[in-house]
């Protein structure tokens, strides 16, 4: 541990600095009070282009991504690069969809995707399913952010045994929980500036400096290819092979469709000020994809540099590479960047999960007449509970369990696509059909994941998301992303059940949205629907308070 | 995906535009492995697989920027 003193000091100073920022954030762009989900949970729905860019960028490109993607490239090669096409196609896919979601949420004051489903299909049951799916998919994702922190702590030699080995993570999450409780979404928004600036600096230095130490890019890729040629494993290499191309494509597509269904992504989008902020960010956010692509290649640099992970934990490969290549003080900066990078998404995810509980479970089923202030108080407490749950999950359960759950999470969140994304365009699906499709998609997805073994780690189940078409009777070794297959099952069942429901004359439920609500922008009148927001009931034509600054 | 036109909004607003079709390009191109699954030609030492997929980011940025600019000009 002694050789890491400089790193630990720099790391601790930066970590404490952002913690102070987290608490100060409550005063930043200060509202009259923070006692509503609009303010605590969505930062007043008033973030401009720059804040949104840092916030959503910090939200989507998590510390886990920055650690796990190069680890995957280090271990398997080209397959790990799927993160690049994934994050290229996601923005054009969601460009028009998110605008409609923002507008209808602006008009109706929706805080969560389940709020929208509730109003669109008039079905509290469907909304409950969407809310539970969101919470279940988000929880392991929060726990995984701890993996980023843990990889860094391990690399600094902070290991210890028993309870004390977990103490640094418990302290880090306790600080995080405290300032999220106090400042809400403003805390990650402010910290994201520091986090992203640090990460951009570290990565730019890494891709300019490290190749000069390793004999240039040609040599890095050649050494990587050599390693994969020598290894016994099938399917690795710096290029794709016949068996995994379809997996590469379907994984990129499925992940892209899933990304903006996650509650934390939607929270970031709904916090923006107007439609133009979202449009501008759809062109500006790919800057992070470039960063992610370069980070992925760090996996090859680690191969070329002969870096070895700590134990069998490939997630330590990037921290170990930094330790090997950089002077101590800069390694400290890099480690702080990764650890702080875990705090931003963890905060937003816990806020999003708490909002889902408050709006779609607490308010819907437990206390329908809750005031704005009560909603905010419940959300704050739930955000604490969610983080305690994540820490307990890491301490008492195997970390692998969180990774498995996150894998399942991506597949299950995709099952909300028919209700949320397609629901933004058409109400053709019957609410009964959507429930049936959800059940079928969930069952199919989890069953497929269960059958997937992982020969490398020797696991028999939940070993990955590559479902072999051979299981369906095809004579092939081709694999496909299980989430996409489950979504197809979901859509087919939803369509069939919709037709059956209509024939049987099952009640449709009331749609409280109107076509023009999907096109509304900042300054347009809002409906304060009595049922969804019963505390203040101004006339439906009341204009929102004039924005303090105009859109640029 | 396009919205059903059966119930047009009372206002003149619409999120339809022929320019929106431009968004299809950066969705389709990165999903065609035969375009980029090759080592040669290398660029600055990067195999085609890596530099071309990174270059696709520029296609995505260009297309979304154009759609945004057009929509702003049309006041949508």
Q: Is A514 on the interface with B (CB under 8 A)?
A: yes
Residue A403, both tokens: 């990774």
The answer to the question of residue B13 being in a domain is no
Question: Does the distance separating the beta carbons of B20 and A96 come in below 8 Å?
Answer: yes
Whether pLDDT at A533 is above 60? no
> Is residue A514 within 8 Å of residue B9, measured between CB atoms?
yes
- CA dist A127 and A235 (Å) reads 41
pLDDT tens for A92-131 read: 998 889 999 999 998 988 999 999 999 999 889 999 999 9
Residue in chain B closest to A517 (alpha carbons) equals B9
Residue in chain A closest to B16 (alpha carbons) equals A96
Overall size of chain A counted in residues: 552
Share of chain A above pLDDT 70, in %: 91
Whether pLDDT at A427 is above 80? yes
Q: Which residues span the domain enclosing B38? A: 18-73
Residue A466 DSSP symbol: E
Residue in chain B closest to A252 (alpha carbons) equals B31
Residues of chain A found within 8 Å of residue B63, distances taken between Cβ atoms = 92
The answer to the question of residue B4 being in a domain is no
The answer to the question of residue B52 being in a domain is yes
Q: Is A229 on the interface with B (CB under 8 A)?
A: no
Number of domains in chain B: 1
- In angstroms, the Cα distances linking A518 to A33, A101, A209, A423, B26 are 29, 7, 48, 11, 25
- CA dist A531 and A105 (Å) reads 15
What is the three-state SS of A442-491?
A: HHHHHHHHHHCCECCCCECCCCCCEEEHHHHCCCCCCEEEHHHHHHHHHH
Cα-based angle A482, A144, A313 (whole degrees, multiple of 5): 90
Q: Is the peptide bond before A503 cis (omega within 30 degrees of 0)?
A: no
pLDDT tens for A428-438 read: 999 999 999 99
Residue A234 DSSP symbol: S
Other residues' Cβ atoms within 10 Å of the Cβ of residue A32? 6
Residues of chain B found within 8 Å of residue A425, distances taken between Cβ atoms = 1-4
Provide φ and ψ at A46, rounded to 5°: -135, 25
pLDDT tens for A24-41 read: 877 777 767 777 888 888
pLDDT tens for A271-303 read: 998 888 998 898 889 888 999 999 999 999 999
The answer to the question of residue A84 being in a domain is yes
> Is residue A325 within 8 Å of residue A209, measured between CB atoms?
yes
**Structure confidence at residue A528 (pLDDT):** 60
Strand runs (DSSP E) across A238-361, as ranges? Answer: none
Residues of chain B found within 8 Å of residue A297, distances taken between Cβ atoms = 50
> Is residue B14 within 8 Å of residue B76, measured between CB atoms?
yes
Q: Tell me the pLDDT of chain A averaged across its residues.
A: 84
Q: What is the CA radius of gyration of chain A?
A: 23
Question: Does the distance separating the beta carbons of A81 and B49 come in below 8 Å?
Answer: yes
Q: Which residues span the domain enclosing A133? A: 33-405
The answer to the question of residue B2 being in a domain is no
**Residues 358-387 (A) with a CB less than 8 A from some CB of B:** none
What is the three-state SS of A57-95?
A: HHHHCCHHHHHHHHHHHHHHEHHHHHHHHHHHHHHHHHH
The answer to the question of residue A4 being in a domain is no
Question: Does the distance separating the beta carbons of A514 and B46 come in below 8 Å?
Answer: no
- CA dist B72 and B68 (Å) reads 6
The 10 Å CB-count burial string (b at 16+, else e) for B18-48 is ebbebbeebbebbbebeebbebeebeebbbb
**Structure confidence at residue A89 (pLDDT):** 93
Segments in chain B below pLDDT 70? 1-12, 75-76
Residue A85, both tokens: 């096409």
Residue in chain B closest to A250 (alpha carbons) equals B31
Tokens 């073994």: give the residue: A453
- CA dist A348 and A273 (Å) reads 17
Which residues face A272 on adjacent strands?
Answer: A47
Question: Does the distance separating the beta carbons of B67 and A290 come in below 8 Å?
Answer: no
- In angstroms, the Cα distances linking A389 to A41, A140, A164, A202, A385 are 20, 10, 19, 32, 6
Residue B52, both tokens: 């071309």
Q: Taking phi first (over 0 means left), then psi (-120 to 50 degrees means alpha), and beta for anything else, what does residue A520 get?
A: beta
Q: pLDDT-derived band of residue A47, with 50, 70 and 90 as boundaries?
A: confident
**Structure confidence at residue A538 (pLDDT):** 41
**Structure confidence at residue A313 (pLDDT):** 76
Whether pLDDT at A527 is above 90? no
The answer to the question of residue A275 being in a domain is yes
Tokens 């403003």: give the residue: A186
- CA dist A50 and A470 (Å) reads 48
> Is residue B17 within 8 Å of residue B74, measured between CB atoms?
yes
Residues of chain A found within 8 Å of residue B42, distances taken between Cβ atoms = 218, 221
Whether pLDDT at A536 is above 80? no
Q: Is A277 on the interface with B (CB under 8 A)?
A: no
Q: What is the dihedral of CA A373, A130, A124, A440, to 10 degrees?
A: -170
Minimum distance, in Å, between the CA of residue A427 and any CA atom of chain B: 10
Mean pLDDT within A75-81: 87
The answer to the question of residue A240 being in a domain is yes
Question: Does the distance separating the beta carbons of A217 and B45 come in below 8 Å?
Answer: yes
Residue in chain B closest to A514 (alpha carbons) equals B9
- CA dist B50 and A78 (Å) reads 9
The answer to the question of residue A463 being in a domain is no
CATH assignment of the domain containing A340: 1.20.1730.10
Mean pLDDT within A533-539: 42
- CA dist A193 and A344 (Å) reads 10
Residue A516, both tokens: 């023009």
Minimum distance, in Å, between the CA of residue A91 and any CA atom of chain B: 8
> Is residue A206 within 8 Å of residue A217, measured between CB atoms?
no
The answer to the question of residue A310 being in a domain is yes
Bridge-based pairing of strands A466-468 and A479-481 is antiparallel
Provide φ and ψ at A317, rounded to 5°: -65, -40
Question: Does the distance separating the beta carbons of B67 and A95 come in below 8 Å?
Answer: yes
The 10 Å CB-count burial string (b at 16+, else e) for A498-514 is beebeeeeeeebeeebe
pLDDT tens for A480-511 read: 888 899 999 999 999 999 999 999 888 888 88
Residue A499, both tokens: 């037709």
The answer to the question of residue A424 being in a domain is no
A–B CB contacts, 8 A cutoff, strictly below: 132
Residues 6+ apart with CB under 8 A from B10: A516
The answer to the question of residue A40 being in a domain is yes
Residues 6+ apart with CB under 8 A from A68: A147, A315
Whether pLDDT at A232 is above 50? yes
Number of domains in chain A: 1
pLDDT tens for A354-393 read: 999 998 999 888 888 888 888 888 888 998 888 888 888 7
Q: pLDDT-derived band of residue A549, with 50, 70 and 90 as boundaries?
A: very low
């Amino acid at each position: 541990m002694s050789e890491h003193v400089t790193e630990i000091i720099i790391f601790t100073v930066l970590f404490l600095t952002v913690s102070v920022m987290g608490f100060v954030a409550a005063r930043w762009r200060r509202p009259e009070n923070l006692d509503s989900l609009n303010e605590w949970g969505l930062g007043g729905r008033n973030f401009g282009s720059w804040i949104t860019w840092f916030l959503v960028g910090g939200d989507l490109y998590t510390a886990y991504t920055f650690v796990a993607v190069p680890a995957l490239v280090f271990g398997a090669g080209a397959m790990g690069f799927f993160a690049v096409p994934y994050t290229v196609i996601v923005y054009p896919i969601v460009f028009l969809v998110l605008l409609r979601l923002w507008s209808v949420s602006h008009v109706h004051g929706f805080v969560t995707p389940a709020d929208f489903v509730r109003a669109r299909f008039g079905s509290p049951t469907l909304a409950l399913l969407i809310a539970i799916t969101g919470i279940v998919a988000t929880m392991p994702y929060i726990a995984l952010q701890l993996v980023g922190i843990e990889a860094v702590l391990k690399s600094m030699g902070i290991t210890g045994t028993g309870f004390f080995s977990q103490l640094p993570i418990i302290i880090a999450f306790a600080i995080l929980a405290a300032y999220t409780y106090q400042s809400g979404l403003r805390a990650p928004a402010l910290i994201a500036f520091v986090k992203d600036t640090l990460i951009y600096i570290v990565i730019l230095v890494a891709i300019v400096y490290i190749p000069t130490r390793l004999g240039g890019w040609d040599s890095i890729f050649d050494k990587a290819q050599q390693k994969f040629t020598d290894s016994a494993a099938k399917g690795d290499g710096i290029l794709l092979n016949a068996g995994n191309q379809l997996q590469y494509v379907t994984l990129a597509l499925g992940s892209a469709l899933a990304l903006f269904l996650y509650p934390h992504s939607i929270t970031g989008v709904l916090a923006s000020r107007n439609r133009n902020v979202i449009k501008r960010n759809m062109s500006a956010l790919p800057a992070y994809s470039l960063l992610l692509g370069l980070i992925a290649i760090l996996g090859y640099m680690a191969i070329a540099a002969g870096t070895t992970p700590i134990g069998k934990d490939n997630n330590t490969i990037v921290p170990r590479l930094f330790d090997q290549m950089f002077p101590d003080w800069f390694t400290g900066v890099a480690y702080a960047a990764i650890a702080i990078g875990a705090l931003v998404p963890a905060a937003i995810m816990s806020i999003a999960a708490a909002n889902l509980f408050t709006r779609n479970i607490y308010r819907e089923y437990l206390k329908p007449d809750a005031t704005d202030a009560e909603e905010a108080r419940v959300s704050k407490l739930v955000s604490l509970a969610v983080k305690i749950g994540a820490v307990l999950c890491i301490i008492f359960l195997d970390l692998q369990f969180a990774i498995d759950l996150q894998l399942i999470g991506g597949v299950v969140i995709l099952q909300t696509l028919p209700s949320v994304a397609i629901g933004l365009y058409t109400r053709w699906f019957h609410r009964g059909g959507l429930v049936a499709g959800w059940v079928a998609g969930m069952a199919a997805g989890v069953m497929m994941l269960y059958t997937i073994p992982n020969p490398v780690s020797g696991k028999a189940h939940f070993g990955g998301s590559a479902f072999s078409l051979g299981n369906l009777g095809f004579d092939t070794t081709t694999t496909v992303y299980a989430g996409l297959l489950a979504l197809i099952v979901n859509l087919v069942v939803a369509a069939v059940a919709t037709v059956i429901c209509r024939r049987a004359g099952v009640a449709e439920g009331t749609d409280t949205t109107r076509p023009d609500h999907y096109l509304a922008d900042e300054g347009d009148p809002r409906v304060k629907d009595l049922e969804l927001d019963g505390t203040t009931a101004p006339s439906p034509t009341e204009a929102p308070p004039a924005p303090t600054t105009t859109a640029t | 995906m396009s919205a059903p036109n059966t119930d047009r909004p009372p206002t003149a607003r619409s999120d339809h535009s022929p320019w929106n079709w431009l968004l299809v390009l950066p969705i389709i191109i990165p999903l065609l492995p035969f375009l980029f699954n090759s080592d040669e030609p290398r660029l600055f030492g990067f195999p085609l697989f890596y530099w071309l997929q990174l270059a696709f980011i520029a296609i995505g940025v260009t297309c979304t920027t154009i759609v945004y600019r057009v929509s702003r000009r049309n006041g949508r």
